[in-house]
Amino acid sequence: MIQLTPYRRMTLEECVTFINEDECIEVTPEVLRLRKTELDPIKRKQMSKRPAEDDD
């Protein structure tokens, strides 16, 4: 049995400080959602192994 922790209500500012680089915030009139930008777990793993690109 998998036990999930209940979600936590956050403000937009809290969401922005909470997310990682590979996540985004979906903003709707009712809800703020944090989710991965790449939903495919295989592609996410490949992206995490790729060297980081500099923004120069």
Residue 6 placed within a domain:
no
Any domain includes 24: yes
In a domain, 3, yes or no: no
Q: Provide the pLDDT confidence category of residue 52 given band limits of 50, 70 and 90.
A: low
Residue 5: inside a domain: no
Number of domains within the chain: 1
Q: CB-based contacts of 4: which residues, under 8 Å, 6+ apart? A: none
Q: Which long-range contacts (CB under 8 A, 24 or more apart) does 16-25 make?
A: 22/47, 22/48
φ/ψ (deg, to 5) at 6: -65, 150
> Could you tell me if residue 23 is inside a domain?
yes
Evaluate whether residue 17 is within a structural domain: yes
Q: What is the pLDDT of residues 25-39, one digit of tens each?
A: 999 998 898 888 877
**In the prediction, which pLDDT does 27 show?**
92
Model confidence at 51, pLDDT cuts 50, 70, 90, reads low
Domain of residue 37 covers: 12-48
